Chains A and B, each alone.
Chain A
């Protein structure tokens, strides 16, 4: 289980308004939780306790149940994403081509665990399922940039670029 982050919640009134609109849209309908969670994550980028509490009160579902759903589906995250979103593909092809060592190196360099974000909000790290670029294995993406056929030296050079 990923430890919960210590980055303070920075929701804006606009985001809150949007969330309340989403809650209003689904309130009272059966199976409201998942679509509300989707919209909430779209609005905030992640689902911290503050957001989940608002949803719990809004659609009258216990917080423990919401948290259970959020932690069940990998598409929902409770950690914010960084300004630079490092994502290493751990699909089969990437994995056999050494993605494990790559992810370890990134962890070490940026000092965060998989699924978490650095305290300054700069870098987050994720392990993804196959992203469909097996010909480029092993693959790292940073936001919308794709880096393929990586060696550990390449990784260091890429990290230097972002961490400077």
Chain B
């Protein structure tokens, strides 16, 4: 179907765009910036904040450019006196009720409200608002909600409700008393919140942030009795550079390792090594279930956001979840057993830090299911943003650092482990190993492109050694819900499903660097970071988990075999149903 073109004039410049384009998008095609606050492409397009008002010839009042579709012959003015005055008063009114503690705000210099105040030249705020003081909700292990900084843009509400179908926050109350909150003023920790942190990465201001664990990590580093090891997830290395001004999709693996070593960690390791263990365990599990026919489809369980979503909404699928722990948890368990033994350390003296693109990992690390003999596998989880902050605190000149290698023994990893960071990656990694085992060959065709890409749901039927395996991949909880409902109803059948909590997978996790709304209009962030992940995979010596020599060594020396008794004790777990509210 052909889309009709529409001709219009914006600030007397001729513009031709497809029908259905908004004034905001049309203006951007001719380099005219219209300020926005509540707008976030594909997530929140509600015209609520009125920052994007423009004059449309013939219209009685100013119109919101972010939701106003263009029409033939339309004449738009974006920079008149009326427009400038309206935007300024609107912004002043928003600021009148905003807690302006910018110097101590986690979002200072990365705040869309602050930037707008600068761009619009606000030099004085004429209005003094009510400024009520709200209690900060910091009971969640992952997410802090500070209503004092909220500008009621509703991006978080929209992402939670529409993208994730978790729906634990909404606008509560009316008029001046409106707040974004949970039902009955509950803490996020008392709701079915899955801790994904998508609300954080869409927040234009500092109203949502992760629970800060950096102090705990510094404390451990300065404690001489602690042996502090750090591991980094695959998605971190393709995003951390953004925190230092590097372009989206820059790979900074080597610089990151150098920085962590300079900060004083006793061991700098790669979560990817543990991801190879996850594949060995989960791949074996898949083979066993294919053989027995029990608990199919096997569903991945690396994503703690997804796991909690499953506990709340799909408890009937809990037996389908892989019992293999997520990679960073396996890493922690191996640190406190194998590594402790090797280094002659007591497990309680080892402090395991995980650097994750994820806020839900904070909640996961505190799960009682994930503590062997009462000692947590992982002691602290910090996000990509938090580790960037720590690198800055340490006075490390990140951009100019030379590269270094991860420490042995958890330094070598396969390309299969690297792609865990993108949607479809865990599936592809597992297939690379399972296909080799089933065929008894060292297969060369290992790029399962059917499961790549950022579409919300991907399906394929793959033939492995004459066996047909039906697979599906979903990222983002709305997609997962849709997929599982079709499985529940019997409409669809699969043998293997990968689910990741965040849309696009971990590269777009709630702990990743925050990208503003304007950049989101031009760049598919998840796709760009994922491309870097697949580049990293290609550059690896070993691209299949079972070819990683370290994995084989540790199985030989210590664990025995995948899904064997010791593996089961250390590397597997089980989850349980949770009530909603």
Contacts and interface: CB of A to CB of B under 8 A. Distances in A.
A130 B184 CA distance: 28
B169 A64 contact: yes
A70 to B, nearest CB: 9
Interface in A53-111: 53, 62-68, 71-74, 78
Given A63-B581, A64-B169, A49 B183 contact: yes
A52 interface: yes
Given A62-B161, A68-B171, A49 B581 contact: yes
Nearest to B165: A62
A156 B169 CA distance: 43
B374 interface: no
Given A49-B581, A53-B581, A63 B174 contact: no
A60 B47 CA distance: 27
B184 A65 contact: no
Instruction: Tell me what chain A mostly uses at the interface: helix, strand, loop, or mixed.
Output: helix
Contact of B184 (A4, A62, A72, A74): A4
Nearest to A49: B184
A1 B191 CA distance: 20
B170 A67 contact: yes
B173 A71 contact: yes
B14 interface: no
Interface residues of B, number: 18
A67 B191 CA distance: 13
Interface in B166-213: 167-174, 177, 179, 182-185, 191
Interface string A137-160: 000000000000000000000000
A72 B179 CA distance: 11
A71 B581 CA distance: 18
Contacts of A67: 170, 172, 182-184
Contacts of A62: 161, 167-168, 170
B173 A64 contact: no
Contacts of A1: 172-173, 177, 179, 185
A66 B173 contact: no
B173 to A, nearest CB: 5
A137 B268 CA distance: 76
B177 A64 contact: no
Interface of B: 161, 167-174, 177, 179, 182-185, 191, 580-581
User: Which 3 A-B pairs have CB atoms at the shortest separation, nearest pair first?
Assistant: A62-B167, A67-B183, A68-B170
Interface of A: 1, 4, 49, 52-53, 62-68, 71-74, 78
Given A63-B580, A66-B183, 7 more contacts: A49-B183, A52-B183, A67-B170, A67-B183, A68-B172, A71-B173, A72-B174
